[in-house]
Amino acid sequence: MKLQSYEGAKMMITLNHWDLIFSAGLVFLLAAVSLALKLGLASRLMVGAFRTTLQLGLLGFSVKFIFAQEGFGWIVLISSVMLLAAGREVLARQKRPFKGPLGYALGTGSMMISSFFVALFALYFLIEAKPWYQPQYAIPLLGILLGNTMNGISLGLDRLTSLSWEKRFEIEGRLLLGQSAKQSILLIKQEAFRIGLTPIVNTMAAAGLVSLPGLMTGQILAGGEPFEAAKYQIMIIFLIVAGTGFGILFALQLASAKLFDERMRLRLDRLKT
């Protein structure tokens, strides 16, 4: 590592190749240990590490170009790519997703409605950039929102469908007592909502006390005024909470309705096994 003086900013420490290689070594080590303990996540860790490197590297090359685009069509194109990629990840994180197009549409649709709506609201009414879709605000904001809703929705949906699978006798036991589909799955839905919201609730509790949120740190490192950076960060966290929370709610409502048919039968055959 070496310290470099930067115009405008204070000091910026740049990383060399060896810094990256050593940190990658830690991931390798983790993968090797999990392989040795037969915990079976080694290949996913390696694929993940490779994807992070490739994707962030490519973004590093293209981000200046992307931010320089003024056209609205560009923003639509880029945000669509982001959304579709996030939708694929939500599907891939689930042990028992819904079969067919519904499996993909469920997560993707919920993310689109929550993230896009919250991003639009923030860009138009809060940040008030001119034009509102200016890429250097719109893209990172949408990215933060999609990344967090993606986590929340994949955790929530995964929990809803796996728990329904495991606790089918409880759900059916309640149906047999004359309870509606909604009542029968309520406890499971509560648990799925709790799990989905846990990461962002943790973030809120830890912000500033345990963790220095990335965006705020970045602004301060880049020479921004710390209190302004804090205000920005608070707003971002609130937006994430709203986006994630409404996204999970929407996904869980839709998914739990689809777990039953019109005769209020639990239809686990709609899930992949």
CB 46 within 8 A of CB 26: no
Distances (CA, A) of 144 to 25, 73, 81, 156: 27, 21, 15, 18
In this chain, which stretch among 3-11, 178-186, 217-225, 246-254 interacts with other proteins, using CB under 8 A? 178-186
The Cα 127–Cα 52 span in angstroms is: 29
**Which C-beta is closer to other proteins: that of 128 or that of 172?**
172
Q: Which is nearer to other proteins, 225 or 261 (CB)?
A: 261
Site for other proteins, residues 156 to 175, rule: CB under 8 A? 167, 169-170, 172-175
Residues 94-113 that bind other proteins (CB under 8 A): none
210 belongs to the binding site for other proteins (CB under 8 A): no
* Cβ proximity to other proteins, 95 vs 265, nearer residue: 265
Which of the stretches 5-13, 90-98, 219-227, 260-268 binds other proteins when contact is defined by CB under 8 A?
A: 260-268
Query: Is residue 66 at the binding interface for other proteins, with CB under 8 A as the rule?
Result: no
- One-character DSSP codes across 195-238: HHHHHHHHHHHHBTTTB--HHHHHHHHTT--HHHHHHHHHHHHH
Point out which span in 2-10, 19-27, 196-204, 263-271 binds other proteins (CB under 8 A): 263-271
Q: Which of 8, 40, 101, 178 binds other proteins (CB under 8 A)?
A: 178
* Alpha carbons 237 and 260: distance in angstroms, whole number: 35
CA distance linking residue 117 with residue 261, whole number of Å: 30
Other Cβ atoms less than 10 A from the Cβ of 203: the count is: 17
> Per CB under 8 A, does 177 bind other proteins?
yes
- Measured from the CB atom, the residue of 72 and 169 that comes closer to other proteins is 169
**257 touching other proteins, by CB under 8 A:** no
Taking the C-alpha atoms of residue 199 and residue 155, their distance in angstroms, rounded to an integer, is 10
For the record, the structure tokens of 61 come out as: 């090359």
Interacting residue ranges for other proteins, rule: CB under 8 A: 167, 169-170, 172-180, 187, 263-266
